[in-house]
Structure formats: C-alpha cells, structure tokens
C-alpha cells in the first residue's frame, strides 16, 4: 500500500506560485538561433560540442540514461551540479528561511547542516546509536510542525555502514514531510537502493552521485530520484543551465563504459577486504567498523597524532574524532593497491 501525501502543501508558497525563468531553449532549439545572444562565430578553439551555444535546460538524454540504469522513469530524475545542488534545492523548495526545521542524524555528512545554515533553516539533531544505526522513534518524536525534511545517509559518511532498511521505512511511513536518503555510496553496498520504492513513498528523495562509484567527482554531476512532482519543483527552482555540456557529455559517456565502472567497484571491494584484514592486526587499532562504502572508519590510539604523522609521511586521511561516538576515529578512503600499501608503510613507520 502506498503512502498518501500532499507534496504541493509541503512546498513553500512562493515556490508553488513561482513563474520560472523561461530560457531561450525552452521554446525552440533548432533553426537559425538568434534568440539567446550567443556568439554564432563559435568557440575560440576547435569544438565539436557547439560550446558557443547554451546547454539543454532539462538534460533529457542524460536523465534517460540514468533512469534506465536505476530502473526508474526519466520523470523521476533530477540532475544537478553535484549532490550539493540537490540538497540546496530541497531546502529552497521546502523550507521557509527563519521558520522551518530539518532533522539530521549525526555523526553524518556535514553538508546537510551547512546547507541548512546557508538557507537559515533550523537543524535538530537525533544521534545515531553507538552502533551507528537510526533511532526512528526518537526521530519521529523530534518532529515539530515546522519540520519539513529528515536527512538519512545510507551508507553513512563517515561511519561507512548502511542503515537498517526497516528503520528507514519506519521514518518514511511515520513522517509526513520529505525524507532524503543519501545513497552516494550505494554501489559499494550489500543493500539495494531505495530508488526501487519511489512508488510506495511519495515523500522519498534518493540522492545519488557520479562522484564515487562512477569515478567522476571532477565533472560535478549529482542526481536526485523522487516522484515526478518533487522533481518538477526542483527543476522549476534550479538555475536554467545548471549542468554544462562538458559535464553531460562525460556523464553520458559513462553509461557506455559500465563494464569499467563495475570492474573498478570490484577492485575497490577487494582492496577493502585486504585493507580491513591488515588493519585489524595492528595493536594500536582498537576497532574497524563494518563498511558498506569505499572507505573505512577505524578507532586507533592517539588518532589525532596518527593523522598528523601520516600527513607528514605524505598520506592524507581524515580525522573524525570530533564527531559523536567517534572518539579517536580516522576515516580512510580505499585507494589503489599501491596507494593502500603506501598507507600501511606510513603506518608502520609512525607506530
């Protein structure tokens, strides 16, 4: 049975009433194009992408590719300049500055709070358990009339574990606002994507990205998957030409190279196993947390000191010891075999 929810009623009134900017390419994209004040002489170098022309505002081809890959419809897909744009747009669509609130579950990805602060939206925090799982009843208890969005990150950054799916579903069912499930690391996870459940939960927004499993952090391509109503509000608010032609060309190219993506994911997962098995043998390492991502969180004696000395050795990892339940924790991204070996060489040197 699918949940009933009135998305329109959740949207800020000014956004509901917004007349979006109509870009030149909305009406005509063919013919003698003298409508957009572009430079018809062309780019200043050889160029096969017509870079002198504005990109398509709605990125139909790329959204088709993503939809086919994730087994949803193009109308379920938003593409933006990294997940960061999608997060910011969700604030702008649903949260009235100075009034509305969101819930986050620390320790988690810092961008939700930063984006909330930028948008002058109040943040309520409901900690994860010590095992880094959600506390669904506490989350639902923390909901106020002004609470518009709950952010869940699964697999979670920086803890690397997936949330129990039953807890996520409990929040989706119990909350009548938007539930964002950030799946940036889903392709490294044993757990399936919630994108397959968009029809059951009209309040679900799944965030994905080309920055991690696709190996394309440099092109800045973030994805939101949600019901068509939510997607069309995001489209309405976004900058008209948010995704540029260079990015969309490379993003589309990725879907013709899925075999390489799968191979790289497999290599990372294999290395992940090797790194874990090696890491747990160190006397100074107190705990290696379970991971469903392309990184590992581990507890080590004098973590801050280790972090600094590793940097002196030229190996940069992340100190996460200031996060709740993360005392003396470091976060290590799984690299190539050679990079991971360098990590262990440095660790051997300083311990």
Ligand X SMILES: *Cc1c(COP(=O)(O)O)cnc(C)c1O
**In the complex with ligand X, which residue's Cβ is closer, 100 or 182?**
182
Q: Give the torsion sign (CA, 145, 147, 148, 150).
A: negative
Stretch that binds ligand X, among 82-90, 128-136, 192-200, 341-349 (CB under 6 A): 82-90
Q: Of the candidates 106, 107, 202, 222, which one interacts with ligand X according to CB under 6 A? A: 222
Residue 294 sits in the site that holds ligand X (CB under 6 A): no
Distance, in Å, from the CA atom of 343 to the CA atom of 309, rounded to the nearest integer, reads 11
Instruction: Check whether the bond before 147 is cis (ω within 30° of 0).
Output: no
Among 157, 161, 213, 340, binds ligand X (CB under 6 A): 157
User: Residue 83 interacts with ligand X (CB under 6 A)?
Assistant: yes
Q: Which of 23, 70, 72, 82 binds ligand X (CB under 6 A)?
A: 82
**168 is a contact residue toward ligand X (CB under 6 A):** no
To ligand X, the closest distance from the beta carbon of 328 in angstroms equals 21
Is the separation of the CB atoms in 153 and 65 below 8 Å?
no
Give me 273's structure tokens: 């196993």
State the nearest-atom distance from the C-beta of 182 to ligand X, in Å: 5
How many residues in the chain?
Answer: 351
Distance from C-alpha of 284 to C-alpha of 26, rounded to nearest angstrom: 60
Six-digit token string for 244: 């540029």
Q: How far is the CB of 153 from ligand X (least distance, A)?
A: 5
CB of 185 to ligand X, least distance (A): 7
Cβ-based nearer residue to ligand X, 23 or 156: 156
Question: Is the CB of residue 167 less than 8 Å from the CB of residue 133?
Answer: yes
Biggest CA pair distance of the chain: 71
**Cβ-based nearer residue to ligand X, 207 or 288:** 207
Phi, psi of 196 (to 5 degrees): -75, -10
CA separation for the pair 296, 89 (Å, rounded): 30
Binding part of the chain for ligand X, among 59-67, 207-215, 227-235, 245-253 by CB under 6 A, reads 207-215
- When asked if residue 153 is in the footprint of ligand X (CB under 6 A), the reply is yes
The β-bridge partners of 178 are: 149
> Using CB under 6 A, which residues numbered 108 to 147 contact ligand X?
109
Give contact residues for ligand X (rule: CB under 6 A): 82-84, 109, 153, 157, 182, 184, 209, 211-212, 217, 222
């Amino acid at each position: 049975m699918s949940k009933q929810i009135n998305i329109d009623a959740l949207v800020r009134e000014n956004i509901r009433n917004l007349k979006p900017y109509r870009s030149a390419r909305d009406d005509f994209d063919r013919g003698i194009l003298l409508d957009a004040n572009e430079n018809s002489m062309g780019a200043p170098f050889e160029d096969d992408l017509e870079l002198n022309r504005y990109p398509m505002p709605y990125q139909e081809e790329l959204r088709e590719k993503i939809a086919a890959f994730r087994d949803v419809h193009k109308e379920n897909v938003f593409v933006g300049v990294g997940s960061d744009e999608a997060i910011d747009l969700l604030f702008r669509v649903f949260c009235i500055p100075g009034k509305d609130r969101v819930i986050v579950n620390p320790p988690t990805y810092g961008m939700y709070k930063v984006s909330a602060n930028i948008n002058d939206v109040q943040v309520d925090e409901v900690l994860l358990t010590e095992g880094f799982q959600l506390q669904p009843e506490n989350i639902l208890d923390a909901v106020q009339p002004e609470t518009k969005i709950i952010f869940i990150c699964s697999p979670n950054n920086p803890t690397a574990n997936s949330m129990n799916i039953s807890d996520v579903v409990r929040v989706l069912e119990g909350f009548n606002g938007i539930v964002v499930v950030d799946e940036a690391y889903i392709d490294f996870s044993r757990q399936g994507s919630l994108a397959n459940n968009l029809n059951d939960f009209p309040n679900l927004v799944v965030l994905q990205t080309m920055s991690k499993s696709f190996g394309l952090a440099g092109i800045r391509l973030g994805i939101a998957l949600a019901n068509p109503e939510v997607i069309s509000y995001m489209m309405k608010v976004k900058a008209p030409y948010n995704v540029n032609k260079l990015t969309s060309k490379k993003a589309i190219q990725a879907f013709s190279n899925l075999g390489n993506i799968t191979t790289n994911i497999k290599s990372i997962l294999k290395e992940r196993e090797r790194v874990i098995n090696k890491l747990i043998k160190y006397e100074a390492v107190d705990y290696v947390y379970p991971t469903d991502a392309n990184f590992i969180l581990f507890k080590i004696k004098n973590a801050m000191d280790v972090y600094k000395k590793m940097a002196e050795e030229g190996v940069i990892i992340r100190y996460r010891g200031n996060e709740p339940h993360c005392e003396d924790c470091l976060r290590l991204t799984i690299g190539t075999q050679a990079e991971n070996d360098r990590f262990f060489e440095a660790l051997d040197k300083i311990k």
